[in-house]
Amino acid sequence: MSESLPLLVSHDFMALAHDAGLAEQPGPSFGAACRYQDFWWLAYADGWLRVTDPFMSTELDARAARLRNASAPGGT
């Protein structure tokens, strides 16, 4: 699937994906990265760059999980 995904998409594209519920941010005030099509994407001046680095993906997964746990009911 990753072969068919572009390495970057526009801000408008990601905004549409977000509105359609296809893209998800790790947290409400965490706007620098989002999850779309099983990849992390990082915002930059002209759009969103797909994170292809396994270390970065793992790091984002772990930190997003920490944020989710903190936001979950009963979590802190």
Partner 1 sequence: MGSLIDGVERALLGVLLCDHVRVPEAAHLDPADFGTAAHGRIFQALRDVAGTLPAAIGINAVMHLVAAATGDPAIPADRLLALALTAPEPRFTAVYARMVHEAATLAALAAHAERDPAYGPGPDGGSTPSDAAAVHRRALGYALAAHVAALHRPPPDPYAMTAADPAALTAAGRREQEILAELLQDRDRIHDVRSWLAAEAFAPGPHRDVYAAMAAVADRGEPVTDLVLAWELARRHTFRPHRTAPAPAAAAAAPPAAAHPAVRICARVEPGTAARLGRQLVEENARAPLAAAVAAINARPRMRAWYPSDPRGPAAKPARRTARGDVP
**∠ Cα 34 58 50 (to 5°):** 40
Taking CB under 8 A as the criterion, the residue among 2, 22, 24, 32 binding partner 1 is 32
Cβ atoms < 10 Å from Cβ of 29: 7
Q: Does 60 bind partner 1 (CB under 8 A)?
A: yes
Residue with Cβ nearer partner 1 (1 or 72) = 72
CA separation for the pair 8, 4 (Å, rounded): 12
> Which residues bind to partner 1, rule: CB under 8 A?
7-8, 11, 27-33, 42-46, 49-53, 55-56, 59-60, 63, 66-67, 69-70, 75-76
